[in-house]
Structure formats: structure tokens, C-alpha cells
Structure 1
Amino acid sequence: MKKQFLKGWSSLFVLLLLFIIWEVAVRLADTPSWLLPSPAAIFTEAITGWSNFSIHLLSTVQLALLGFILGSVFGLLTAMVLHLVPFLREAVYPLLILSQNIPIIVLAPLLVIWFGFGLLPKLIVITLVCFFPITIAALDGFRQTPQDLKTYMMMAGANRKQLFWKLELPFSLPSLFSGIKISATYSVMGAVISEWLGAKTGIGVYMTLASSSFRTDRVFVAIFAIMLISLLFFAIILIAERKLVRWRSIEGETK
């Protein structure tokens, strides 16, 4: 616990040092604010423009949460089906890999053409971003279940359904949470990208308007907000992991 506390403070110290170097460098070089604003200018803009930015922030958080939930459910269900139906896994797994080679920024305009400017294309973008890490992580977790425990349960008379729900799924939780944490951070990025499709509010819209008017300080406010939201999502899921996977937390503390 003490080591984790020290690591947290060391990371905060390094971040603070980087901001100080950034502030001093901008002031010494007399860099124009439209080219590279100082951290002080970005912080000032974040406070003075909060009433306007908070609307966009709330919209992105809501969209990211909804898309993350849909992506998580779809990813877990996909992993379960592929695990329980081996011949289907062999056929679909390569297609999952190929689906991640399609740039979302290229696919997004097509989704607008097919589904319009409503909520659906935005949710599809976030779901596509989120489901893959969860599916892969869950499949790896299912496969890592100890074979001796499987044999023991089958000898005790467990059927395939009981084997999955009572053994394979619980053992996959550490791997599954790893995928969920990745997807949670991706969901914010996916939400911002999806807002470029024609949304009226959101951080993506805020960034576009700020860039077109050369308000670089607002662009950095949006960037830092995206980072903070991603860290918040990550922290919440980390807490949930420690609550649900207690045996792993206890094992980590004893080492």
C-alpha cells in the first residue's frame, strides 16, 4: 500500500515538473498563444469557459458511457458464443482481427450515409472501438482456466453449462477486466470521434470549433478533459475489479 502511494505521488511530481518546464519554455521563447499556450493560460480558459464547456463535457460522458456499456455487453456475448461454439470461433476469429484494421475515421462517414446523423452511428463507432479488447481478453481468460479443475468438476458430474458459469467465467475475470479497462479509455476517444459526424454538442464539437477559430487554449482544455475522463473511467473499473476479484487483490498484497 505504501509503495502504491509513493508511486502515485511520484507520477504527480513528474507531471507537475513537465508543466513547469512547459510554462517556463513558452514564456522564455515568447511563443504566441495561438501556436502553443502556456499551462496557466489553459487553466484560466478552463475556469472562465467552464459554463460553456460543461455542456459539451456532459454530452461526451453520457455518449461514452452508453457506447461503453453496449460495447462491453456485445464484446462479452461474442466471446461467450465463440468460446462455447469452437467451430464458430475458428471461422469468426480472423474476421474480428480484420474488423480492427478498418480505420474508424474512414468508416465514420459511411455510417452517416447509412444511418443518418442521429445517435445510432455514434453508438456503432464506440461499440466497434470497445468490443474487440473485451472479446479477446475474455477468450484468453476462458482458455486459461486450469485443466485439472475442469477435470475435477467433470468427474463430479458438472455439465458444460455448470463448467462455464461456475469455473471458466470466474477464472476469466482478471483477463476480462484488463480488456474492460482498455475499452473504457477507448470509449472516450470513440465518443469524440463519433461527435465529428455531425453532433450539436460534445467535446469533439468543441474541439472542432476551437480549432477553426485558432483557440488553441480551448483545444488543450478539451484534450486534458478527455485524459481526465479516461483516467476516471479507468479508476472506477479498477475499484470494481478489486471488489469483484478479491482473491487476486489478496494475492497481490501478499507478494
Structure 2
Amino acid sequence: MAAIARPLCIALGLTLLWQCIVWVTGAPKFILPGPGLVIDALLDQLPLLLRHAGVTLAEILLGLTFGVILGLFSALSLITWGGLRRWLMPVLVISQAIPVFALAPVLMLWLGYGMASKIAMATLIIYFPVTAACFDGLRRTPTNYLKLARTLGASWQAQLIQIRLPAALPAFGSGLRVAASVAPIGAVVGEWVGSSTGLGYLMLNANARMQVDLMFAALLVLALIAVSLYFLIDWLARLLVPWQSDTLNTPLSGSGRNR
């Protein structure tokens, strides 16, 4: 029950804070509409919002899928072939010096204004966090496990599948959480650069028409998608590593003795 009540209380508190800011500042509705106006726009334009949200959600999920697959494959390649690691790692690091958002016009030019360019944008923004997290988990496998496996005569492939991959799952889960957080950014930025559908396009179109309440409603739907996706990925990551204990609520040594 508390797991449901807490988010509702947070949402209610943020809504009240939003309304108080509108009252105190006296901002006109074309600058900052109140939550009531946004909810009315959300209900009135719900079919339109759902249609555009479906496009954005498809772009996010496809980009997330491709980014995770490519990231996992790259991490496995880096840990498998030392020669490839020496050549590919500098390229991956240098690629992060180029703002991914700056590539959006290039992707539009190459892939057009359809979903392909938005999926590519989301894939690119997801790829490096997943690759870095998974590779870090693979290379930090406890040496005692590897020594025991070698003593028992396990092949390198068996060590990778049965020891390195399970040991890397916590880091891989962290990479998935980061990917879930940034995937909507890639899709929406791609829609801002050029698109005829999606929540990003709807927000730009509503802003141009001074329909700020509709723009905020689209932003609210996008936030709900992003939060839902993050918690879904977090739940899946916890399923992947049921043996990993959560020590966040464990008191530090001596800090909880007299409480």
C-alpha cells in the first residue's frame, strides 16, 4: 500500500507546488498554464496524444532494443579479442566527444524524416552507456572465480558464459537503467529536428500555435512513458540478479546501535 501511496503523494505535492507557482507569479496561461488547464487539454486531446505517443514509444523501444543488442555484442567483442579492444576502445571514447544531438541533422539527411532516423538517434545515445557498463562488469569478474574455473579445466567459452556473464549482470542492469533514462531523449530530439508524428513533433506544433496547455500535456505523457519505462527496466534488472542484495537500508557500522 505504501508503494502506491508514496508516488501519489509526490505527484499531488508537485501538482500543488505547480499551482502555487502559477498563483504567486501570476503567469499568463500562454506562459505557464495551471495543472487544471493541462489536465483539461489532456482529456480533450487524448486520442491525438495517444496516437503520437504510440509513435514515440515505438521509436524508444526499437532504439532501446537495438542499442542494448549492439552494446552487449560490443562488450563481448571487447572482452574476447584483445587486439580489437586496443583499437575499438579509443574510437568509442572519442565518439563521445561528439555531441550525439549534433548528429541528428545528419541522420535526417541519410535516413529521411521517418522513424528510421529517430530509432538510429535513440540507438546511438543508448549504445555507449550499455557498452561501457557491460564491459566494465565483464572485466571486473572476481579473479577467485576465474582461478577456480581454470583449476577445474573450464574452457574460455565456459568461463565467459557461466562466470563472466552472470558476474556482469549487476553492471549490465545499471547500464539498462541509464539506457531507459536517455532513450526518450534520443527519440524526441530526432522528432524536434524533423518529423511529422510523435510527441516531440506535437510539442513543437503546439508551441508554434500557442497551445501551451497541449504542449504541457504532451510533455506529461512523455514523462509518464519515461518513468514507466525506467521502473519496468529496473524491475527486469532485479529479476536478472535475484542473488544481489540491496544494502541501501543497512545501517553503517555503529550508526544504528542506539536507535
Per the TM superposition, whether the score is higher than 0.5 is: yes
Is 1:191 aligned to residue 187 of structure 2?
Answer: yes
Which residue matches 1:94? 90
Tell me the matched-pair count: 250
Is 1:161 aligned to residue 168 of structure 2?
Answer: no
Which residue matches 1:31? 27
Identity of aligned residues (%): 31
Is 1:109 aligned to residue 105 of structure 2?
Answer: yes
Mapping of 1:69-88 within 5 angstroms?
69-88=65-84
CA distance in 2, matches of 1:53, 1:10: 27
Q: CA deviation at 1:90?
A: 2.4
Which residue matches 1:66? 62
Q: Which runs of 5+ in 2 are unaligned?
A: 251-259
Q: Counterpart of 2:243 in 1: which secondary structure?
A: helix
CA contact (8 A) 1:189 1:226 kept: no
Is 1:48 aligned to residue 8 of structure 2?
Answer: no
- Correspondence for 2:131 among 135, 144, 148: 135
Q: Counterpart of 1:140 in 2: which secondary structure?
A: helix
- Correspondence for 2:206 among 207, 210, 219: 210
- Correspondence for 1:227 among 223, 229, 248: 223
Q: Which runs of 5+ in 1 are unaligned?
A: none
CA contact (8 A) 1:22 1:38 kept: yes
CA distance in 2, matches of 1:31, 1:162: 64
- Correspondence for 1:200 among 166, 191, 196: 196
Residues 170 and 50 of structure 1: is their aligned pair in 2 closer, same or farther, counting only changes over 3 Å?
same
1:165-222 deviation line (CA, Å, top 9, x unaligned): 0000001001001101111121111111122343221001101101111222122222
CA distance in 2, matches of 1:253, 1:100: 31
Q: CA deviation at 1:28?
A: 4.3
CA distance in 2, matches of 1:121, 1:29: 40
CA distance in 1, matches of 2:38, 2:151: 64
Q: Counterpart of 1:32 in 2: which secondary structure?
A: coil
CA distance in 2, matches of 1:67, 1:20: 35
TM-score by length of 1: 0.90
CA distance in 2, matches of 1:128, 1:242: 25
CA distance in 2, matches of 1:140, 1:235: 23
